[in-house]
Structure 1
Amino acid sequence: MKRFSPARAATATAVVLATSGGLLGAAVSTASAAVTCTSPVFKRQFFANTAFSGTPKKTDCDSAIDQNWGTGAPASGLPSNNFGVRWSVTRDFGSGGPFTFTASSRDGIRVYLDGVRKVDLWKNVSSTVSRTVNLTVPAGRHSLRIDFVNWTGSANVTFAYAPRTSATVDKVKPLTPGGAALTYSTTTHKAKLSWTRSPEMDLAGYRVYRRVSGGSYPAQPLATTTSASTSWTDTPPKDGKAYFYEVRAYDKAGNASTGTADKGVTTVDLTGPAAPTGLRGATDFDGAHLTWSSVVDAVRHEVVREDPRTGDQAVVATDLHGTAYHDREHMTGVYQVRGIDAAGNPGALSDAVTLDGTDTVAPAAPSALRASARPGVVHTTFRAPLNPVLEEIDNGAKGLLYRTEGTGAAARTVAVDCDVEDGDPVTGASHTVDRDEVVFQCADRTRAEDTTYTYTARIEDGSGNASAPSAPVTLLSTDRTAPAPLTGLTATPRDNGVELRWDTPPEDDIDRYRIRRGITGSDGSTTWQDVTCTVMYETPHARLCPDLPDGQTVTYTVRAEDHFGNMIPLDDARLPRATTTERVVTPGEPVVDRSGPVSAGPRTSTTPLAPVWFCSGVDECAGITGYRVSRWTGGGWQSLGTAPGGVQGWIRHEDPYQLPHTVNWYRVVAVRADGTELPAVHTSVIRHDVV
């Protein structure tokens, strides 16, 4: 709320929040005037005594308790000494939890929650006294009353209450969102889940979850919304299955409510089964034999054959209820299979298999076998010519990996299951095409730690003909040695942060660099925190750590971490450090980030960001007709035009001339309908563009 100077206090006009939510410009000065203030706005009463007796001299509404009346009277008809002011409100605290009450006054202030005194500073003082109280507020609606008296001298008073949002303090779950409802359109195939807004004061947002019938809700939400959202629109799979939704509220401490009751919908089925996998073929004197893996939702299959001589395709089998087919009419051809679901939707065709008669020629040995150790796995790749290996793959060929442990008579060789994380072990390697080569990949997850292995690879065609082995590769499966401390670390201040550089490390298995920043306080202690910085100049040995340059002295450390997570400890004396003092990049006037209902703050990005600010309080914001926006040029403020007002929420204004590689300061002045201006607030955009 705007503070009044002593000279203006006697003529200040009260703003009263009426029951309709509008603002009344005329002061309410009679005891008979009925004043209703919409929660959480306070009802304020002025008394010409310190006992709060008799009829109030004035009653109005106050959105925030923050007044400094100096030595003057707070309102017409009141004395400059020995007066009292009472604020009261009843509001919904949602699930309640830990709160902080903060009070300051000169002279006396008392704060009551549901009639119970929580703050008691009741003494005629010559300077402002303050008190902060941490307490737990029960769930539901509760009343607040704040009594202030001035006996003699200057008068000022502030009071605020806010939830404590630290995860170590707040363990109270938000209330479950109410009013959950779900609609589904068979035309657009969209499902809309809606709910009512939660009364929680520390609400961070909502999480929407979806599960298929018979399944469980996943750990990760389908969507996360803001605290202002009351709906989410989803497009569930068009597969004729039943899907259920729930929404959960979560607060700033990370506590989540229980989910709303399931809301379900059965979708339109327009999706055919997935393409069958594992199509294999062989030929003999009796024709072509095909087999494939079963596909979920397929109630029958059909087989498509392409004539290798003419290229013509034809369906050679329909209404197959198994996963095998014997084509007695042909011994060669290019075959594919697809599934059809109960609604008659055809699925995608499988990969093709080409049958060209008996195959007795072994493939050529693969080349370029590579192996690299990573935590829990050894990754291998090997290569073969695209022609004819890709055709061999279509006829059932596969890449095989072998692992040998030990030497001489003690050597033991086994075939490697290429991946055992998802489903059954797969002996054959997966493959991709890289220009004129087929690249096979095989992940060995069954190897032991700290063991030396020798790997070889082969290609086996669909007839079981195996190639000669590739050239061997030997390696140790585990690395437990941390990279050496980095050298040459420097920290250079820039207009948009601090640039770090260091020498190229000797190791070739560096996975990432861990950066920490330390800020030294006035007591000489240093507070450290992990920071995320941007790679510069396409080199892994330079970073830009974006920050608002405010003249702080900062210290940086950088540690190299390899793929196994090895890195030197933080207490290692060899850990490099670089200290620098940030530049000071501020406009030529005091920086203010809040003025009445308008607030702003810094933003950080590698791309242009529009300056933004926030207007809080529906009625306060409605009285603002526009905002004058300007950018600091180093020698003054350059106007960027105006932005419309009148609404509560975030307001943005595009700046086509925003400067890269620096901090862009913006000045925002709110203008009321009568032409008066609020004090300027400032926001900034830290552009950490790098070359």
Structure 2
Amino acid sequence: MKPVSLATAVVLATAGGLLTAVAASPASAATTCTAPVYKRQIYANTNFSGTAKQTGCDAAISENWGTGAPASGVPRDNFSVRWSVTRDFGSGGPFALSASGLDGIRVYLDGSLKISLWKNTSTAVGKTVYLTVPSGKHTLRVDYAHWTGSAKVAFTYTPRTTATVDKVRPLAPTGTAWNYRVADANRTTATLSWAANKEMDLAGYRVYRQAAGSTAWTRIGATTTARRTFDDTPPQTGQSYRYQIRAYDKAGNESAGTAALGPVPTPDLTAPAAPVLTVTSSVDTNTLSWKAPSDAVAYSVFRKKSDETEWKEYTPEITTTTWKDDFPEYGKPYDYKVRAYDAAWNHADSAVVTGRTTIAVPQHVTVATPDQGAVVSWTDPAGNDTADYTVLRSPATSAARTWTNVTCGSRKTATDASGATVRTCTDSSGDRGKPYAYVVRRKDTDGRWSSPSAETVVTRPGDEVAPPAVTGLTAQALEYGVRLQWHASTAADLAEYRIYEQPADFDTPQYVGTVDATRTYATLRMAADGEQKRYVVLAADRWGNVASYVGDPEGDGTYWDQPVAAAKITELDLRPTAQAPENTACDLDAIALASGAVQVDPYCYGARFKEADGYQVYRWDRVKATWTRLTDAPVTTSYWTDTTAPSGTTLYYLVSFKNEDGTEAFSNVDDAVTGPAV
């Protein structure tokens, strides 16, 4: 900072909170600086002795003179500067005082030393202290001494505004004033004003309102620190209102309220609260009752048929809170509403309710949801005059209802312990996983249908979504068939896996078998005869959802209604490689037994050959590529058991009979598939 001539120096003062420039005063003249501006005094020594060489005003303490002098007539070394300010801290609170610079610095609050960095140094020093400033006016003083080298100094004091640190409430606003005016339509508006608070951490002001006769204050608005007026048009209820202003700071602390401002009167332009209306229907009447608003003095009742548009007023200006309609048509819906009036003749209508004269409706309606459907149960009213009933159902995914009659899959009637008639109806239709509403109506022996019972909403268990396609499906050709393997399904409600054989996409799938949910493999026993096969494995859930074959109705190659897992395989070919003799004798069945043996069972027609004549058994030997006879002598029993059959493979058999000329006549060839050894 360059030295400033005393004749041309300027200092800062405040006017209305804004910084303004005033001529600097020589040392002999009095200088006044308005808070929060500091008064600055510069001395030509380091002990603040004698008369200050220059006096002025600074809005902030942040100087860097380098190696120059701070003012004319002051040496560049061995000088001192003193700043001081006395200001109102309002409610006070936690503050941070921070000082830094080169050479000596001392900070005082009300004459008490808070920071001391008093030494000749060539290295910058600094310190921050935290303290609580009491409410009201206090004086801050900063002393700075420079001995040699560069000179600089800075000081700040700032409120700490975090909620965990600042627990000090602002002071209540002062200088409050209020008035009110009557605007158009005789509406009253209150005008409030107040003086600025002194707190440095002030965030704004909040306005509260209180109705006459109440002890509760309701916040109705807020302003910033710059705005200290507020207009409010309260509810025009005929009551008077009072107001209160509260200050709040950046930590969220709120001051006590000002003294109440008011009262502000209002005309009564507000309707009473709407009556809360209910209707109770019997065979001949609809009876209305309602909860009266606190300021209502009279009522009117309005009625119309539900399919009409024009309301008719009945019994205007009644003072009771019940009314009975004795002449409705039976079973016809009627709409009703009640209008409440206050003493100023403001009025409000209730919500519309609908009544329908009715015989006694079914009671105690419940709906159970076992897996197979929804079971609706109810109790007939006393009298034993029920001739028929109907159950109605509507989707309950929205407030609107679309009622349809339920075809009861099962109707049952029983008598409970009290002698009441209990009826049930089983609804087996509807989507799983969706909510449905049910009501029941009954018809008496006079042919009158009741109103619907109370509505019961249930969600059908389960869902309508098939599990996703299984993954990782593989097929392995074995000597005794095909092994399928796949990854476990992720479906939480999995029940089983279903296996189909489908040679081509367009072929109708043929059911092969089912595997329970705990297994992820299946071994299909069949002859290894070199056929090409295609298998589909489907996951099915406990609700019966499973992918369906649809046969490509759109012609786009989509044969299933969702993706499925399929695996193609060519079986091993273990058939005899040599042509079998022509079948001229009997037919043959080769049957693999559970024991692992194979039962060879020829059966003959006519008189030419008989099993009792004796036959020889042959088995194809793949290693030797020839038919090997297994019997040493002709077998004369009806069947023969091969106890030497290898396990886990496909075997081929034939038998031969003796012709009259001594030659052999052979049966057909048949296969037998033995399981793997256990």
TM-score by length of 1: 0.51
Q: Distance in 2 between matches of 1:248 and 1:314?
A: 53
Distance 1:132 1:470 in 2: 68
Q: Which amino acid aligns with 1:335?
A: Y
1:339 matched to 2:340? The reply is yes
- Is the contact made by 1:367 and 1:382 (CA closer than 8 Å) also made in structure 2? no
| Residue-by-residue CA offset, 1:383-434 (whole Å, 9 max, x unaligned) | 522899xxxxxxxxxxxxxxxxxxxxxxxxxxxxxxxxxxxxxxxxxxxxxx
CA contact (8 A) 1:301 1:321 kept: yes
Instruction: State the alpha-carbon separation in 2 of the partners of residues 131 and 268 from structure 1.
Output: 63
Deviation at 1:42, TM superposition (A): 0.5
Aligned to 1:256: 254
2:290 maps to 292
Once the two structures are superposed, what CA deviation does each residue of 1:508-528 show, in whole Å capped at 9, x if it has no partner?
9xxxxxxxxxxxxxxxxxxxx
**CA distance in 1: counterparts of 2:25 and 2:348, whole angstroms:** 77
Indicate the RMSD between aligned Cα atoms, in angstroms: 4.0
What runs of 5+ residues in structure 1 fail to find an aligned partner?
Answer: 371-380, 389-452, 476-505, 509-691
Q: Which residue of 2 aligns with 1:118?
A: 114
Out of 52, 72, 77, which is 1:76 matched to?
A: 72
Deviation at 1:204, TM superposition (A): 2.0
Aligned to 2:234: 236
Task: Supply the distance in 1 between the matched residues of 2:222 and 2:303 (Cα, whole angstroms).
Answer: 48
Rate the CA distance shift 1:189–1:60 in 2: closer, same or farther, 3 A. same
In the superposition, relative to structure 1, how do residues 307 and 454 fare at CA in structure 2: closer, same or farther (>3 Å)? closer
The residue that corresponds to 2:208 in the other structure is 209
Query: Does residue 191 of structure 1 match 2:190?
Result: yes
* Separation in 1, partners of 2:338, 2:226: 50
Among candidates 390, 395, 418, match of residue 368 of structure 1 = 395
Name the residue aligned to 1:303.
Answer: 301
CA contact (8 A) 2:11 2:56 kept: yes
CA contact (8 A) 2:9 2:24 kept: no
| Matching residue of 2:101 | 105
Q: Deviations over 1:348-385 (max 9, x none)?
A: 35315366787989886343346xxxxxxxxxx67522
More moved, 58-67 vs 271-280: 271-280
2-structure distance, mates of 1:320, 1:280: 18
Aligned match of 1:658: none
Distance 2:328 2:313 in 1: 13
> What's the secondary structure of 1:292's corresponding residue?
strand
User: C-alpha offsets along residues 195-230 of structure 1, whole Å, 9 cap, x if unaligned?
Assistant: 322111112222333344454547x84333323332
CA deviations over 1:613-672 (Å, ceiling 9, x no partner): xxxxxxxxxxxxxxxxxxxxxxxxxxxxxxxxxxxxxxxxxxxxxxxxxxxxxxxxxxxx
User: Aligned in 2, Cα 1:26/1:254: closer, same or farther, shift over 3 Å?
Assistant: closer
Range moving further from structure 2, 351-360 or 160-169: 351-360
Provide the C-alpha distance between the structure 1 equivalents of 2:438 and 2:18, rounded to a whole number of angstroms: 81
* Per-residue Cα deviation, 1:227-278 (whole angstroms, up to 9, x for no partner): 3332333332222234443332222222222222333434321011233222
What secondary structure sits across from 2:105 in the alignment? strand
Q: Which residue type is aligned with residue 394 of structure 2?
A: S
1:384 is matched with which residue? 401
Q: Structure 2 vs 1, CA of residues 156 and 319 (structure 1 numbering), >3 Å: closer, same or farther?
A: same
Structure 2 residue aligned with 1:46: 42
TM-score between the two structures when normalised by the length of structure 2: 0.52
Aligned residue for 2:272?
Answer: 273
Does the 8 A contact of 1:271 with 1:347 survive in 2? Answer: no
> How far, CA to CA, are the matches of 2:119 and 2:49 in structure 1?
19
Distance 1:92 1:309, change over 3 A: closer
C-alpha distance in 2 between matches for 1:179 and 1:257? 15
AA in 2 matched with 1:54: G
The reply on whether 1:324 has 2:322 as its aligned counterpart is: yes
Q: Select the structure of larger CA radius of gyration.
A: 2
1:21 & 1:208 partners in 2: Cα distance?
A: 25
Kept after mapping to 1: 8 A contact 2:14/2:37: no
Once the two structures are TM-superposed, the CA of residue 117 in structure 1 deviates from its matched residue by 1.4
Matched length: 399
The answer for the alignment partner of 2:351 in structure 1 is 350
Secondary structure at the counterpart of residue 392 of structure 2: coil
Could you say if the C-alpha distance between residues 463 and 244 of structure 1 is closer, same or farther in structure 2, counting changes exceeding 3 Å? farther
Cα distance in 2 for residues equivalent to 1:362 and 1:237: 54
Structure 2 residue identity aligned to 1:37: C
- Deviations 1:99-119, CA, capped at 9 Å, x for gaps: 111111222111111111111
State the Cα distance separating 1:62 from its structure 2 match.
Answer: 0.4
Q: Once the two structures are superposed, what CA deviation does each residue of 1:46-89 show, in whole Å capped at 9, x if it has no partner? A: 22222222322222110000000111111122211122211111
What is the alpha-carbon distance in structure 2 between the residues aligned to residue 239 and residue 197 of structure 1? 33
| Larger displacement relative to structure 2 (221-230 or 265-274) | 221-230
Pick closer, same or farther for the CA change 1:101–1:310 going to 2, 3 Å. Answer: closer
CA distance in 2, matches of 1:22, 1:293: 61
Cα 1:155–1:289 change in 2 (3 A) is same
1:315 is matched with 313
| Structure 2 residue aligned with 1:93 | 89
The percentage of aligned residue pairs carrying the same residue is 44
**Which amino acid in structure 1 is aligned with residue 453 of structure 2?**
A
Report how far residue 474 of structure 1 moved. 5.2
What is the deviation of 1:160? 0.5
- Residue type of the alignment partner of 2:279: R
User: In the TM superposition, what are the counterparts of 1:169-184 in structure 2 within 5 Å?
Assistant: 169-184=165-180
* Paired letter, 1:169: V
Letter in 2 for 1:195: W
Other-structure match for 1:668: none
Query: Which of residues 131, 136, 148 in structure 2 aligns to 1:152?
Result: 148
Check whether the contact 1:104–1:131 (CA below 8 A) recurs between aligned residues. yes
Q: Which amino acid aligns with 1:297?
A: D
8 Å contact from structure 1 (residues 365, 468) kept in 2: no
In 1: Cα distance, 2:455 partner to 2:24 partner: 98
Residue of structure 2 equivalent to 1:394 = none
Letter of the aligned partner of 1:385 in structure 2? Answer: T
Q: Which residue of 2 aligns with 1:689?
A: none
SS in 1 for 2:276: coil
**In structure 2, what is the equivalent of residue 572 of structure 1?**
none
Alpha carbons 2:39, 2:84 under 8 Å: kept: yes
Whether contact under 8 Å (1:49, 1:84) holds in the other structure is yes
- Residues 468 and 144 of structure 1: CA distance in aligned 2, closer, same or farther (over 3 Å): closer
Gaps of 5+ in 2: 362-387, 406-432, 442-448, 463-489, 493-678
CA distance in 1, matches of 2:294, 2:358: 32
Asked if 2 retains the 8 angstrom alpha-carbon contact of 1:362 and 1:467, the reply is: no
AA in 2 matched with 1:466: S
Aligned to 1:15: 11
**SS class of match (2:348):** coil
Q: In the alignment, is residue 165 of structure 1 matched against residue 192 of structure 2?
A: no
> Who is 1:34 aligned against?
30
CA contact (8 A) 2:299 2:319 kept: yes
